[in-house]
Chain A
Protein backbone atom coordinates (compact mmCIF):
# COMPACT_ATOMS: atom_id res chain seq x y z
CA UNK A 1 0.00 0.00 0.00
CA UNK A 2 1.37 3.37 -1.01
CA UNK A 3 -0.12 5.43 1.78
CA UNK A 4 -2.07 5.28 5.04
CA UNK A 5 -5.41 6.21 3.47
CA UNK A 6 -5.38 2.99 1.44
CA UNK A 7 -4.98 0.94 4.63
CA UNK A 8 -7.85 2.92 6.17
CA UNK A 9 -10.03 2.17 3.15
CA UNK A 10 -9.15 -1.51 3.35
CA UNK A 11 -10.02 -1.77 7.05
CA UNK A 12 -13.24 0.22 6.53
CA UNK A 13 -14.27 -2.31 3.89
CA UNK A 14 -13.86 -5.01 6.55
CA UNK A 15 -16.20 -3.00 8.80
CA UNK A 16 -18.74 -2.70 6.01
CA UNK A 17 -18.51 -6.44 5.38
CA UNK A 18 -19.16 -6.98 9.10
CA UNK A 19 -22.51 -5.20 8.64
CA UNK A 20 -21.52 -2.17 10.69
CA UNK A 21 -24.07 0.64 11.00
CA UNK A 22 -21.38 3.05 12.08
CA UNK A 23 -17.72 3.23 11.07
CA UNK A 24 -15.60 5.77 12.86
CA UNK A 25 -12.13 6.86 11.78
CA UNK A 26 -10.03 8.86 14.22
CA UNK A 27 -6.71 10.42 13.31
CA UNK A 28 -4.76 11.97 16.16
CA UNK A 29 -1.37 13.55 16.26
CA UNK A 30 0.63 14.41 19.33
CA UNK A 31 3.53 16.81 19.02
CA UNK A 32 5.06 15.79 22.35
CA UNK A 33 5.24 12.08 21.63
CA UNK A 34 5.64 12.49 17.85
CA UNK A 35 3.01 9.84 17.27
CA UNK A 36 0.35 9.67 14.59
CA UNK A 37 -2.51 7.45 15.71
CA UNK A 38 -5.08 6.01 13.30
CA UNK A 39 -8.11 4.32 14.83
CA UNK A 40 -10.88 2.62 12.88
CA UNK A 41 -13.80 1.45 14.99
CA UNK A 42 -17.13 -0.10 14.05
CA UNK A 43 -20.23 -1.61 15.58
CA UNK A 44 -20.27 -4.56 13.19
CA UNK A 45 -20.56 -8.25 14.03
CA UNK A 46 -17.16 -8.43 15.75
CA UNK A 47 -14.93 -11.47 16.12
CA UNK A 48 -14.66 -14.17 18.75
CA UNK A 49 -11.36 -14.59 20.59
CA UNK A 50 -10.35 -17.53 18.42
CA UNK A 51 -10.61 -15.57 15.14
CA UNK A 52 -9.11 -12.49 16.80
CA UNK A 53 -6.04 -14.44 17.85
CA UNK A 54 -5.20 -15.45 14.28
CA UNK A 55 -6.40 -12.35 12.44
CA UNK A 56 -2.90 -10.93 11.86
CA UNK A 57 -1.89 -14.16 10.20
CA UNK A 58 -1.90 -13.66 6.41
CA UNK A 59 -3.22 -17.17 5.94
CA UNK A 60 -6.36 -16.44 7.87
CA UNK A 61 -9.38 -14.89 6.20
CA UNK A 62 -13.17 -15.02 6.28
CA UNK A 63 -13.42 -14.57 2.56
CA UNK A 64 -14.35 -17.54 0.46
CA UNK A 65 -12.77 -16.53 -2.83
CA UNK A 66 -9.26 -17.50 -1.74
CA UNK A 67 -7.20 -18.50 1.24
CA UNK A 68 -5.16 -15.42 2.12
CA UNK A 69 -6.16 -12.21 3.84
CA UNK A 70 -3.54 -9.49 3.75
CA UNK A 71 -5.37 -6.34 4.83
CA UNK A 72 -4.60 -6.47 8.56
CA UNK A 73 -1.09 -7.99 8.23
CA UNK A 74 -0.07 -5.25 5.77
CA UNK A 75 -1.39 -2.46 8.01
CA UNK A 76 0.39 -3.98 11.00
CA UNK A 77 3.67 -4.33 9.12
CA UNK A 78 3.43 -0.75 7.89
CA UNK A 79 2.95 0.62 11.42
CA UNK A 80 5.61 -1.54 13.01
CA UNK A 81 8.26 -0.84 10.42
CA UNK A 82 7.85 2.90 10.97
CA UNK A 83 8.56 2.75 14.68
CA UNK A 84 4.93 2.40 15.68
CA UNK A 85 2.59 -0.23 17.03
CA UNK A 86 -0.61 -2.03 16.12
CA UNK A 87 -3.56 -3.25 18.17
CA UNK A 88 -6.84 -4.85 17.38
CA UNK A 89 -9.64 -5.52 19.80
CA UNK A 90 -13.03 -7.01 19.13
CA UNK A 91 -16.06 -8.37 20.85
CA UNK A 92 -18.45 -10.74 19.16
CA UNK A 93 -21.74 -8.93 18.55
CA UNK A 94 -20.44 -5.49 19.51
CA UNK A 95 -17.77 -4.45 17.03
CA UNK A 96 -14.10 -4.15 16.28
CA UNK A 97 -11.46 -1.50 16.86
CA UNK A 98 -8.17 -1.33 14.95
CA UNK A 99 -5.47 1.06 16.13
CA UNK A 100 -2.20 1.73 14.32
CA UNK A 101 0.44 4.14 15.55
CA UNK A 102 3.21 5.61 13.44
CA UNK A 103 6.26 7.63 14.50
CA UNK A 104 5.62 10.86 12.56
CA UNK A 105 9.28 11.54 11.76
CA UNK A 106 10.25 7.98 10.93
CA UNK A 107 11.61 7.74 7.39
CA UNK A 108 9.50 4.64 6.73
CA UNK A 109 6.20 6.24 7.73
CA UNK A 110 3.97 6.30 4.65
CA UNK A 111 2.29 9.63 3.82
CA UNK A 112 -1.28 10.07 5.04
CA UNK A 113 -2.65 9.97 1.49
CA UNK A 114 -6.09 10.94 0.27
CA UNK A 115 -8.13 10.53 3.46
CA UNK A 116 -10.73 13.03 2.21
CA UNK A 117 -11.31 10.91 -0.90
CA UNK A 118 -11.52 7.67 1.07
CA UNK A 119 -14.06 9.01 3.59
CA UNK A 120 -16.13 10.62 0.82
CA UNK A 121 -16.15 7.49 -1.33
CA UNK A 122 -17.10 5.27 1.61
CA UNK A 123 -19.94 7.66 2.52
CA UNK A 124 -21.13 7.58 -1.10
CA UNK A 125 -20.79 3.81 -1.47
CA UNK A 126 -22.48 2.91 1.82
CA UNK A 127 -25.31 5.44 2.30
CA UNK A 128 -26.93 3.25 4.96
CA UNK A 129 -23.78 3.33 7.13
CA UNK A 130 -22.85 6.29 9.31
CA UNK A 131 -19.28 7.20 8.33
CA UNK A 132 -17.54 9.41 10.88
CA UNK A 133 -14.19 11.12 10.86
CA UNK A 134 -12.48 12.79 13.78
CA UNK A 135 -9.19 14.64 13.36
CA UNK A 136 -7.40 15.79 16.45
CA UNK A 137 -4.15 17.62 17.07
CA UNK A 138 -3.77 18.96 20.60
CA UNK A 139 -6.88 21.04 21.27
CA UNK A 140 -7.78 21.45 17.61
CA UNK A 141 -10.30 19.11 16.10
CA UNK A 142 -12.43 18.50 13.04
CA UNK A 143 -15.47 16.26 12.98
CA UNK A 144 -17.43 14.83 10.09
CA UNK A 145 -20.48 12.58 10.06
CA UNK A 146 -22.08 11.29 6.87
CA UNK A 147 -25.45 11.04 8.66
CA UNK A 148 -25.43 14.80 9.11
CA UNK A 149 -24.69 15.22 5.40
CA UNK A 150 -27.46 12.79 4.44
CA UNK A 151 -29.87 14.71 6.68
CA UNK A 152 -28.96 17.97 4.98
CA UNK A 153 -29.29 16.49 1.52
CA UNK A 154 -32.65 14.80 2.01
CA UNK A 155 -33.54 12.85 -1.14
CA UNK A 156 -30.32 13.74 -2.99
CA UNK A 157 -27.82 10.86 -2.67
CA UNK A 158 -24.28 11.49 -1.36
CA UNK A 159 -22.96 9.78 -4.50
CA UNK A 160 -24.16 12.74 -6.61
CA UNK A 161 -21.07 14.18 -8.33
CA UNK A 162 -21.53 17.73 -7.03
CA UNK A 163 -21.85 16.40 -3.47
CA UNK A 164 -18.79 14.15 -3.78
CA UNK A 165 -16.73 17.05 -5.07
CA UNK A 166 -17.90 19.34 -2.28
CA UNK A 167 -17.29 16.73 0.45
CA UNK A 168 -13.75 16.07 -0.76
CA UNK A 169 -12.98 19.76 -0.54
CA UNK A 170 -14.72 20.13 2.81
CA UNK A 171 -12.87 17.23 4.46
CA UNK A 172 -9.66 18.23 2.69
CA UNK A 173 -9.88 21.66 4.30
CA UNK A 174 -10.37 20.03 7.70
CA UNK A 175 -7.27 17.91 7.18
CA UNK A 176 -5.22 20.94 6.17
CA UNK A 177 -6.50 22.90 9.16
CA UNK A 178 -5.76 20.27 11.76
CA UNK A 179 -2.83 18.29 10.39
CA UNK A 180 -1.17 20.88 8.13
CA UNK A 181 2.41 21.44 9.25
CA UNK A 182 2.16 18.60 11.78
CA UNK A 183 2.59 15.98 9.07
CA UNK A 184 5.15 17.39 6.69
CA UNK A 185 3.35 16.07 3.58
CA UNK A 186 0.37 18.35 4.32
CA UNK A 187 0.90 22.06 3.80
CA UNK A 188 -0.73 24.29 6.36
Chain B
Protein backbone atom coordinates (compact mmCIF):
# COMPACT_ATOMS: atom_id res chain seq x y z
CA UNK B 1 0.00 0.00 0.00
CA UNK B 2 1.24 3.45 -0.91
CA UNK B 3 1.55 6.17 1.68
CA UNK B 4 1.25 9.95 1.36
CA UNK B 5 4.80 10.21 2.73
CA UNK B 6 6.09 8.89 -0.63
CA UNK B 7 5.22 12.28 -2.09
CA UNK B 8 8.27 13.68 -0.30
CA UNK B 9 10.49 11.95 -2.83
CA UNK B 10 8.48 13.32 -5.77
CA UNK B 11 8.63 16.77 -4.17
CA UNK B 12 12.43 16.70 -3.99
CA UNK B 13 12.79 15.40 -7.54
CA UNK B 14 10.38 17.89 -9.07
CA UNK B 15 11.51 20.95 -7.18
CA UNK B 16 14.72 21.33 -9.18
CA UNK B 17 12.88 20.87 -12.45
CA UNK B 18 10.36 23.57 -11.55
CA UNK B 19 13.07 26.05 -10.67
CA UNK B 20 14.75 25.43 -14.00
CA UNK B 21 11.68 25.74 -16.20
CA UNK B 22 9.96 28.52 -14.19
CA UNK B 23 7.08 29.42 -16.51
CA UNK B 24 9.17 30.31 -19.51
CA UNK B 25 6.48 31.11 -22.05
CA UNK B 26 3.11 31.25 -20.31
CA UNK B 27 1.29 28.93 -22.68
CA UNK B 28 -1.70 27.13 -21.19
CA UNK B 29 -4.47 24.72 -22.19
CA UNK B 30 -8.07 24.87 -21.04
CA UNK B 31 -10.60 22.06 -21.52
CA UNK B 32 -14.36 22.69 -21.37
CA UNK B 33 -15.58 20.41 -18.59
CA UNK B 34 -19.26 21.18 -17.98
CA UNK B 35 -22.10 18.69 -18.53
CA UNK B 36 -21.91 19.20 -22.30
CA UNK B 37 -18.14 18.67 -22.49
CA UNK B 38 -18.09 15.69 -20.14
CA UNK B 39 -20.93 13.96 -22.00
CA UNK B 40 -19.19 14.54 -25.33
CA UNK B 41 -15.95 12.94 -24.11
CA UNK B 42 -13.81 15.73 -22.65
CA UNK B 43 -12.34 13.41 -19.97
CA UNK B 44 -10.36 11.16 -22.34
CA UNK B 45 -9.23 14.27 -24.25
CA UNK B 46 -7.89 15.89 -21.08
CA UNK B 47 -6.24 12.64 -19.97
CA UNK B 48 -4.48 12.41 -23.32
CA UNK B 49 -3.28 16.02 -23.17
CA UNK B 50 -1.80 15.49 -19.69
CA UNK B 51 -0.19 12.20 -20.71
CA UNK B 52 1.33 13.57 -23.91
CA UNK B 53 2.77 16.59 -22.09
CA UNK B 54 4.10 14.25 -19.40
CA UNK B 55 5.76 12.02 -22.00
CA UNK B 56 7.57 15.01 -23.43
CA UNK B 57 8.51 16.37 -20.00
CA UNK B 58 6.72 19.63 -20.68
CA UNK B 59 6.17 20.99 -17.16
CA UNK B 60 5.37 24.61 -17.92
CA UNK B 61 2.10 24.22 -19.85
CA UNK B 62 -0.73 23.78 -17.35
CA UNK B 63 -3.90 21.93 -18.39
CA UNK B 64 -6.95 23.23 -16.57
CA UNK B 65 -10.72 22.81 -16.73
CA UNK B 66 -13.41 25.37 -17.26
CA UNK B 67 -17.19 25.39 -17.41
CA UNK B 68 -19.42 25.66 -20.44
CA UNK B 69 -17.77 27.69 -23.19
CA UNK B 70 -21.11 28.29 -24.91
CA UNK B 71 -20.99 26.23 -28.08
CA UNK B 72 -22.07 22.87 -26.70
CA UNK B 73 -22.66 21.36 -30.14
CA UNK B 74 -18.93 21.61 -30.85
CA UNK B 75 -17.73 19.93 -27.63
CA UNK B 76 -15.28 18.61 -26.57
CA UNK B 77 -13.54 21.99 -26.84
CA UNK B 78 -9.89 22.69 -26.06
CA UNK B 79 -8.58 26.23 -25.91
CA UNK B 80 -4.87 26.89 -26.25
CA UNK B 81 -3.69 30.26 -24.93
CA UNK B 82 -0.45 31.27 -26.55
CA UNK B 83 2.28 33.20 -24.78
CA UNK B 84 1.36 36.39 -26.66
CA UNK B 85 -2.20 36.27 -25.29
CA UNK B 86 -3.88 35.02 -28.45
CA UNK B 87 -6.13 31.99 -28.23
CA UNK B 88 -6.83 29.06 -30.53
CA UNK B 89 -10.10 27.16 -30.06
CA UNK B 90 -10.08 23.51 -31.10
CA UNK B 91 -13.47 21.84 -31.42
CA UNK B 92 -14.96 18.34 -31.68
CA UNK B 93 -11.84 16.94 -30.07
CA UNK B 94 -10.92 13.34 -29.38
CA UNK B 95 -7.78 11.69 -27.98
CA UNK B 96 -6.17 11.29 -31.44
CA UNK B 97 -6.66 14.98 -32.22
CA UNK B 98 -5.34 15.86 -28.77
CA UNK B 99 -2.08 14.04 -29.56
CA UNK B 100 -1.77 16.13 -32.72
CA UNK B 101 -2.41 19.42 -30.89
CA UNK B 102 0.36 18.67 -28.40
CA UNK B 103 2.85 17.58 -31.08
CA UNK B 104 2.10 20.29 -33.64
CA UNK B 105 0.87 23.30 -31.69
CA UNK B 106 2.37 23.01 -28.20
CA UNK B 107 5.73 21.56 -29.21
CA UNK B 108 6.27 23.02 -32.67
CA UNK B 109 4.13 26.14 -32.55
CA UNK B 110 2.11 25.24 -35.65
CA UNK B 111 -1.65 25.66 -35.24
CA UNK B 112 -3.71 22.65 -36.43
CA UNK B 113 -5.90 24.76 -38.69
CA UNK B 114 -8.23 21.92 -39.70
CA UNK B 115 -9.28 21.31 -36.07
CA UNK B 116 -10.10 24.91 -35.17
CA UNK B 117 -13.54 26.38 -34.63
CA UNK B 118 -13.03 28.48 -37.76
CA UNK B 119 -12.56 25.38 -39.93
CA UNK B 120 -15.54 23.61 -38.35
CA UNK B 121 -17.83 26.58 -38.80
CA UNK B 122 -16.93 27.28 -42.42
CA UNK B 123 -17.31 23.58 -43.28
CA UNK B 124 -20.80 23.62 -41.77
CA UNK B 125 -21.98 26.46 -43.98
A residues within 8 Å of B by Cβ? 1, 6, 9-10, 13, 17, 63, 65-66, 69-71, 74, 114, 117-118, 121, 125, 148-149, 152-156, 159-166, 169-170, 173, 177
Contact A156 B15 (CB under 8 A): yes
Query: In the complex the two chains form, is B38's CB within 8 Å of A121's CB?
Result: no
The verdict on A162 contacting B14 (CB below 8 Å), with A9-B33, A9-B43, A117-B47 known, is: yes
Q: Closest CB-CB distance, A126 to chain B, in whole Å?
A: 9
Cα distance A166–B8 in the bound complex, in angstroms:
12
Residue pair A164, B38 in contact (C-beta under 8 Å): no
Q: Which of B7, B36, B43, B64 contacts A152 (CB 8 A)?
A: B7
The minimal Cβ–Cβ distance linking A133 to chain B, given in whole angstroms, is 13
Please state if A152 and B35 are interface contacts (CB–CB under 8 Å): no
**Secondary structure type dominating chain A contacts:** helix
In the bound complex, what is the Cα–Cα distance between A10 and B33 (angstroms)? 8
Q: Which of B4, B18, B35, B65 contacts A149 (CB 8 A)?
A: B4
The proximity string for B residues 21-55 relative to A, scoring 1 for CB distances below 8 Å and 0 otherwise, is 00000000000011110110001001100100110
Expressed in whole angstroms, the Cα–Cα distance for A125 and B59 within the complex equals 15
Q: Are B10 and A163 in contact (CB under 8 A)?
A: yes
* Residues of A with C-beta under 8 A to B46: 121
Are B1 and A177 interface neighbours, CB within 8 A?
Answer: yes
Which residues of A lie under 8 Å from residue B2 when comparing CB positions? 166, 169-170, 173
Judge whether B68 is part of the interface by a CB distance below 8 angstroms.
yes
- Interchain CB contact under 8 A, A161 and B50: yes
Contact (Cβ within 8 A) B69 A160: no
User: What A residues does B7 contact at CB under 8 A?
Assistant: 149, 152-153, 163, 166
Residues of A within 8 A of B125 (CB): none
Minimal beta-carbon separation of B23 from chain A (angstroms):
11
Given contacts A10-B34, A63-B68, A125-B65, contact A156 B47 (CB under 8 A): no
Q: Which of B5, B14, B62 has the most CB of A within 10 A?
A: B14
Whole-angstrom distance between the alpha carbons of A169 and B46 in the complex?
Answer: 17
A88 CB, min distance to chain B CBs, angstroms: 15
Closest A-chain residue to B70, C-beta based? A65
Given contacts A13-B67, A121-B46, contact A6 B39 (CB under 8 A): yes
Residues of B close to A17: CB separation below 8 A: 67
Chain B residues in 8 Å Cβ range of A153:
7, 10-11
With an 8 A cutoff between CB atoms, is B72 at the interface? yes
How distant is the Cα of A173 from the Cα of B6 in the complex, in angstroms? 14
- The answer to whether B5 and A152 have CB atoms under 8 Å apart is yes
Q: How far is the CB of B95 from chain A (nearest CB, A)?
A: 14
Question: Does the CB pair A156–B4 fall under 8 Å?
Answer: no
